Structure 1
Amino acid sequence: MSGRPIAETAYAKINLALHVRRRREDGYHDLETLFAFVDDGDRLTARPAERDEIMMRGEFAAQLDDPFGNIVAKALTLLPHGRGWAVELDKRLPVAAGLGGGSADAGAVFRMIEATRGLPDDWRARAAKLGADVPACVRSEACIGTGTGTDLASVANDLAGTPVLLVNPRIPLATGPVFKAWDGEDRGPLPEGNLRHIALAGRNDLEAPATAIAAPIAEVLDALRETGPWLARMSGSGATCFALYDDIAARDAAAARFAEVRSGWWQMTGVLR
């Protein structure tokens, strides 16, 4: 890295569809998911330093109580990047929210290192060590994930530019209990087709168990559906839900309504990448 700082956005991840196929003997689950990414999220800035340093600010920074044990620090230890980086993380995405916030932060670190030094050939394996969503978050492009979510296949993206509204009732929801509450029923594979068809014909198998644990998720989904999106669904293991609209005006009207009548809920607007 030169003396000038570099910056990167950690794009919010959403699962347009998430099919849980089976619980594996190793304790993980076989998944089929359609990843998509919003054009906004956490913000990272890095400067050269004598040693690695992590500084955090932003609305949700207080929820990350160990700056040197978080995923940004772990990503730095996995990749050669010079003597040291001083990284400032503006934590704008809620934690434990189904948006891959930590994975997105790690993905941003990978892209920053790629831009300055390049990535090693085995970067995908290194990314997978940090979490199942991290390989997808490195590229932050729409794709299909299988296995535990780390086996990725490209897909034609007909939804780029689609307006999206993210809403979270400010309830952190750990992934483990949601998977544990899944009923174990295989409801079938992802459908084939373009992104819009897969999203509409697909489902999120974790929506029911997550709602059983955190009832406000159902309230968020009902409120989103009242705003006229062509799709409203929970992302990942929750509790964030998303709504997709055909035009920005409809999205912004929905966001304004939420700000007025649900001011306690977190929200973010953007478009799909």
Structure 2
Amino acid sequence: MTLSETAYAKINLALHVRRRREDGYHELETLFAFVDDGDRLSAAPAEADSLNTHGEFAARIDDPFNNIVGQALSALPHGKGWSVTLEKHLPVAAGLGGGSADAGAVFRMVEAAYGLPDDWHACAATLGADVPACVLSRPCVGTGTGTDLAEVAENDLAGCPVLLVNPRQPVPTGPVFKAWDQIDRGPMPTGTLREIALQGRNDLEAPAVAICPVIADVLAALRETGPFLARMSGSGATCFALYDSEAGLEAAADKIAEVQPDWWQMSGKLR
């Protein structure tokens, strides 16, 4: 039996950094959302675990089996072994939770075949702050380091057309958080997804732009296409734009491809 899952691209519709904790991590309030496209994984029973990677960004994975997919496999019961294939379509160090999304897909494949252990959430959190949300891959509010999750009562952005754009410049998360000015600009708003997204912000946008200035160019290019919201995701460098119509999305994607043909982009809908 072969299992398959999409590792849905994660975006942060809002990301409020409240304070730097004594343990070195940061207290966050974030609204996770997921696009209906991303990396793709498949798994088949095998004598031992193995991981084969291909796709546009596979070369960015230096040690395939020591990455987060291998760690997720090692952490979960899945029989004697799995032969896993990863099609890496999402850029690395891009604010899309690509590795976390891959791990989340592994969790869902294990769930389908064997069920998840009761402590799956704690297990996922040890792999990365975004992993528990990526296991669910549906809209939720993350607090603490992002691992404490609460579902959103009303998902009024389901099916919303979304465009992701990355300038093909990786931005490591650590330096961006370190560059945050430690000013608490207030809590994330409450309400529906759309209300939180429109009234919220990304506190990592300014420090990320300082490290990778082309992010500002990506945001400017997206805003010129007429979305109702354009914002950076996570710690960058990927930015997203939300549109009221498929036609608006398609026109925007064509325009970005024309003026910046070297930028990576992905079109889809919010889950």
Scaled by the length of structure 2, the TM-score of the pair is 0.99
Are residue 196 (structure 1) and residue 201 (structure 2) matched?
A: no
Give the alignment of 1:86-165 within 5 angstroms.
86-155=83-152, 156-165=154-163
Q: Tell me the CA shift for residue 97 of structure 1.
A: 0.1
What is the identity, as a one-letter code, of the residue corresponding to 1:41?
A: G
What is the identity, as a one-letter code, of the residue corresponding to 2:43?
A: A
DSSP-derived class of the 1:115 partner? helix
Q: Tell me the CA shift for residue 68 of structure 1.
A: 1.2
What is the identity, as a one-letter code, of the residue corresponding to 2:22?
A: E
Are residue 5 (structure 1) and residue 2 (structure 2) matched?
A: yes
Alpha-carbon distance in 1 for matches of 2:113, 2:104: 15
Pick from 221, 227, 248 the counterpart of residue 223 of structure 1: 221
Alpha-carbon distance in 2 for matches of 1:111, 1:121: 14
DSSP-derived class of the 2:65 partner? coil
What is the identity, as a one-letter code, of the residue corresponding to 2:249?
A: R
What is the identity, as a one-letter code, of the residue corresponding to 2:128?
A: G
Are residue 45 (structure 1) and residue 42 (structure 2) matched?
A: yes
Structure 1 partner of 2:185:
187
Structure 1 partner of 2:76:
79
DSSP-derived class of the 1:68 partner? helix
Structure 2 partner of 1:65:
62
DSSP-derived class of the 1:54 partner? strand
DSSP-derived class of the 2:66 partner? coil
Q: Tell me the CA shift for residue 257 of structure 1.
A: 1.1
Structure 2 partner of 1:15:
12
Structure 1 partner of 2:22:
25
Q: Tell me the CA shift for residue 261 of structure 1.
A: 1.5
Scaled by the length of structure 1, the TM-score of the pair is 0.98
What is the identity, as a one-letter code, of the residue corresponding to 1:35?
A: F
Give the gaps of 5 or more residues in structure 2.
Answer: none
Q: Which runs of 4+ in 1 moved over 2 A?
A: none
DSSP-derived class of the 2:185 partner? coil
Q: Tell me the CA shift for residue 247 of structure 1.
A: 0.5
Give the gaps of 5 or more residues in structure 1.
Answer: none
Alpha-carbon distance in 2 for matches of 1:158, 1:41: 22
CA deviation profile, 1:121-155 (whole Å, cap 9, x unmatched): 00000000000000000010100000000000010
DSSP-derived class of the 1:47 partner? strand
Alpha-carbon distance in 2 for matches of 1:172, 1:9: 22
Alpha-carbon distance in 2 for matches of 1:238, 1:222: 15
Alpha-carbon distance in 1 for matches of 2:30, 2:173: 15
Q: Tell me the CA shift for residue 192 of structure 1.
A: 1.2
What is the identity, as a one-letter code, of the residue corresponding to 2:103?
A: A
Alpha-carbon distance in 2 for matches of 1:162, 1:67: 34
DSSP-derived class of the 1:176 partner? helix
Alpha-carbon distance in 2 for matches of 1:68, 1:108: 16
CA deviation profile, 1:12-60 (whole Å, cap 9, x unmatched): 0000000000000000000000000000000001111100000000000
What is the identity, as a one-letter code, of the residue corresponding to 1:78?
A: A
CA deviation profile, 1:93-144 (whole Å, cap 9, x unmatched): 0000000000000000000000000000000000000000000000101000
CA deviation profile, 1:145-183 (whole Å, cap 9, x unmatched): 000000000102110000000000000000000000000
Alpha-carbon distance in 1 for matches of 2:118, 2:109: 16
Q: Tell me the CA shift for residue 260 of structure 1.
A: 1.5
Instruction: Give identity over the alignment, percent.
Output: 75
What is the identity, as a one-letter code, of the residue corresponding to 2:174?
A: G
